[in-house]
Amino acid sequence: MTYAKRIKKLREVLIITQQELADLLNVSVVTVNRWENSKFKPTMKEQRKLVKLFIENKIGE
């Protein structure tokens, strides 16, 4: 599964919007949209925050 699909799945599991995820990660909604559309990848700092959310919500098992 691509990073873009995983991020979208994370949002679906958490039942949150792109804006809400952006607020959680302290990034813009445009950034989250670009991640989900495979235009950009999260930085290492952002990836760490995402991994924490994946682990806390047991996504990817």
- Alpha-carbon distance 55 to 57, whole Å? 5
What single letter denotes the amino acid at residue 56? E
pLDDT at site 1 = 80
pLDDT at site 61 = 55
Residues near 21 by Cβ (< 8 Å), separated by ≥ 6?
Answer: 7, 10, 11, 14, 32
pLDDT per residue, tens digit, the chain (61 aa), is 888 998 998 899 899 999 999 999 999 999 999 999 999 999 999 999 998 888 887 766 5
Q: Three-class SS of residue 37?
A: coil
pLDDT at site 37 = 96
Q: How many residues are recorded in the chain?
A: 61
Question: Domain 3-56 carries which CATH code?
Answer: 1.10.260.40
Please give the model's pTM, rounded to 2 decimal places: 0.85
Residue identified by tokens 């607020």 is 23
